Structure 1
């Protein structure tokens, strides 16, 4: 192996005036985990939804998982900008996320209701991150978390409106 490739990632000390970067990075890692879990669940529902509302739900979930997949990269890169490592294993993602799978195969109605509930939960976790970021002098993370929370709140609203 060449010396150029023999580099193992590690945390760095970043001196931008932000306090408690570890707590912020941990909260951001939870956000990455929640996002990836919700991307997968949304994608699985997208693949498997059936019934009269198929096209509408299929299209809505595609828009949502595409947005979340791109957002996961932005959130993970914020962790790195704070000098910490982003999650590196699927088991870590599973352990950190509050998103859970349903035990049985859901109907289209149950899929939409489940996703609405999950988006609401993730939005609340982003609200907690906003508070933490503001308390520790990190407006960049607060802005990022605000934008992501807005996405999840809108996604939950659209899904709730669809489920009526």
Structure 2
């Protein structure tokens, strides 16, 4: 593997870890949300965690297609996930924490895109650009629901 490919797979691994962290957080909120917005948020969180779960496979398979091993243990993934947010108790706090999680992941995706662009890795740029667009849409929808 070239140094350029290693830089991109390292960036993809960080995206994988952050995606895993946001998946776990979102699924936990799905289980624990309460209040007048329960039904809407329960469904929205389920939609999000399902997409995040599927994205994990796409990102890990991209790492493998570049010749590296994808982080596959809980310790590896949580080590790459970033800081764990404090458990949110209210629906409003959950939405706020998820917004922060999506924002952090968008920043990680932007760094990974820059790395893949520098390496001339267009398939990775495409995958990460699609993920960025999805996270931006989720962020917009949560912000619009709070307005």
Q: TM-score, normalized by length of structure 2?
A: 0.94
Q: Give the C-alpha shift of residue 160 in structure 1.
A: 1.8
Q: Which has the larger radius of gyration?
A: 1
- Which ranges of structure 1 fall in alignment gaps of 5 or more residues? 1-12
Q: Does 1:141 align with 2:124?
A: yes
Q: Does 1:80 align with 2:42?
A: no
Counterpart of 1:111 (choices 85, 94, 100) is 94
Contact 1:76 1:86 in 2 (8 A): yes
Contact 1:33 1:93 in 2 (8 A): yes
Q: Which has the higher helix share?
A: 2
Partner Cα distance (2:12, 2:49) in 1: 19
Partner Cα distance (1:48, 1:116) in 2: 17
Contact 2:85 2:97 in 1 (8 A): no
Runs of 4+ in structure 1 over 3 Å off: none
Partner Cα distance (1:105, 1:24) in 2: 33
Q: Describe the superposition over 1:109-161 as per-residue Cα deviations: whole angstroms up to 9, x where unpaired.
A: 00001001110110111111111111111000001010001111111111222
Q: When the two structures are aligned, how many residues end up with a matched partner?
A: 147
Q: In the alignment, which residue of structure 2 is the partner of 1:92? A: 76
Counterpart of 1:65 (choices 37, 49, 56) is 49
Partner Cα distance (1:106, 1:90) in 2: 25
Higher relative contact order (CA 8 A, sep 6+): 2
Partner Cα distance (1:148, 1:56) in 2: 23
Partner Cα distance (2:15, 2:47) in 1: 19
Q: Describe the superposition over 1:30-79 as per-residue Cα deviations: whole angstroms up to 9, x where unpaired.
A: 11111111111000000100000001111111111101100110000000
Q: In the alignment, which residue of structure 2 is the partner of 1:23? A: 7
Q: Give the C-alpha shift of residue 89 in structure 1.
A: 1.1
Q: Secondary structure at the match of 1:134?
A: helix
- Which ranges of structure 2 fall in alignment gaps of 5 or more residues? none
Show the 5 A alignment for 1:7-18. 13=1
Q: In the alignment, which residue of structure 1 is the partner of 2:140? A: 157
